[in-house]
Amino acid sequence: MKSSITNSIPSVKNFTYSEFSCPCRICEYGSGRDIDPMLPLIAQEIRNALDRPLKVNSACRCGPHNSAVGGSLNSQHLDKNGFKAMDSRTPGKSMLIEPVKVPGTNW
List the domain boundaries for the chain: 11-97
pLDDT per residue over 74-97, tens digit each? 888 888 777 888 888 888 777 766
List own/partner pairs for 47-54 with CB under 8 A and 24 or more apart: 47/14, 47/15, 47/90, 50/90, 52/90, 52/91, 53/14, 53/90, 53/91, 54/14, 54/88, 54/89, 54/90
Q: According to CATH, what is the number of the domain 11-97?
A: 3.30.1380.10
pLDDT per residue over 39-56, tens digit each? 888 889 888 988 889 888
